[in-house]
């Protein structure tokens, strides 16, 4: 059933986005403690390999959360017949990928340029010019990351706000607003905390989603069928189905539960 699966996927994705940053902070604190307590020579290769493994695992979990979130928003977009719910999230995903590629190119280009200057002309290289070039490169990388973050925040805000309007769950609007403010304030350091709180509200919103009630003013009867057309309307979502069907093609619920065929 599209709504139930969407609720489950969205809730799991939100919980992952809440837990992962906490685990990352605990891991960094623990690793820092190990480095400070034990001398460099005694910092075994085990911890080095463990750190790499944890980083890869957390990256994989983050990818899984993103996939589940995309699936949830896609199914909710179909359920509420509002394409913008999913489109805004999809646009954010694509912009993030393109932006990340741009940042990688800028970083590699800066490193290559500095390395060539040092290797090809080590004596004629001006330290002040190199420092200025390095600062410009870092500023460009940070600026690109901030722009991408703000664009992503705006798109997520639009997606959550539209989902809140269509579902009637105000918690999604709060999540979207917190995400937007967090994206704008990421430069001062508190933005990440607001985004983290936004995912808590999003998880709560997914749990509050309920099936849409059948409107009494609709131009169909949820308890009857048309013998001429061979069609039956689902009593849960109102979508037209063939009479030889057992489950609704849209929401997946039984067609003949508490309804009769004429």
Q: pLDDT of 23-72, one tens digit each?
A: 888 887 877 776 676 655 555 555 666 677 777 888 889 889 999 999 99
- pLDDT recorded at residue 123: 60
Instruction: Decide: 146 and 162 in contact? Cβ < 8 Å.
Output: no
Confidence (pLDDT) at 217: 40
Query: Where residue 143 falls among pLDDT bands split at 50, 70, 90?
Result: confident
Query: In the predicted model, is pLDDT for residue 224 greater than 50?
Result: no
The dihedral of CA 193, 194, 197, 198: what is its sign?
Answer: negative
Q: Is the pTM of this model over 0.75?
A: no
pLDDT number for residue 138: 80
H or E element, residue 202: helix 191-208
Determine the pLDDT at residue 104: 82
Q: Sorting pLDDT into bands at 50, 70 and 90, what band is 193?
A: very high
Instruction: Name the E strands within the chain.
Output: 225-226, 231-233, 240-242
Residue 182 — pLDDT band, cuts 50, 70, 90? very high
E strand or H helix that includes residue 140: helix 127-167
On the question of pLDDT at 149 being above 80, the answer is yes
In contact, 95 and 152? CB cutoff 8 Å: yes
HSE, CB side, 13 Å, CA atoms: give it for residue 243. Answer: 13
**β 231-233/240-242 pair status:** antiparallel
pLDDT of residue 169: 92
* The predicted structure's pLDDT at residue 127: 67
Per-residue model confidence as pLDDT tens digits over 164-181: 999 999 999 999 999 999
């Amino acid at each position: 059933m599209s709504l139930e699966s969407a609720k489950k996927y969205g809730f799991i994705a939100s919980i992952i986005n809440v837990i992962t940053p906490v685990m990352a902070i605990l891991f960094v604190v623990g690793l820092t403690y190990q480095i400070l307590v034990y001398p460099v020579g005694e910092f075994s290769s085990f911890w080095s390999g463990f750190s790499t493994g944890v980083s890869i695992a957390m990256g994989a979990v983050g990818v899984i959360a993103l996939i589940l979130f995309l699936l949830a928003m896609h199914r909710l977009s179909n359920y509420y017949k509002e394409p913008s719910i999913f489109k805004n999230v999809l646009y954010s995903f694509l912009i993030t990928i393109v932006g990340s590629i741009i940042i990688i190119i800028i970083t590699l280009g800066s490193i290559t340029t500095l390395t060539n200057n040092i290797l090809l002309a080590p004596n004629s290289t001006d330290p002040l010019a190199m420092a200025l070039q390095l600062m410009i490169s870092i500023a460009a990388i940070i600026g690109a990351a901030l722009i991408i973050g703000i664009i992503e925040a705006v798109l997520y805000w639009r997606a959550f706000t539209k989902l809140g309007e269509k579902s009637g769950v105000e918690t999604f609007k709060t999540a979207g607003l917190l995400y937007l403010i967090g994206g704008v304030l990421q430069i001062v350091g508190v933005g990440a905390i607001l985004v983290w709180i936004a995912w808590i509200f999003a998880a709560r919103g997914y749990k509050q989603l309920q099936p849409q009630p059948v409107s009494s003013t609709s131009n169909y009867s949820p308890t009857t069928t048309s013998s001429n057309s061979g069609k039956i309307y689902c009593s849960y979502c109102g979508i037209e189905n063939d009479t030889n069907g057992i489950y609704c093609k849209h929401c997946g619920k039984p067609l003949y539960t508490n309804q009769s065929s004429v």
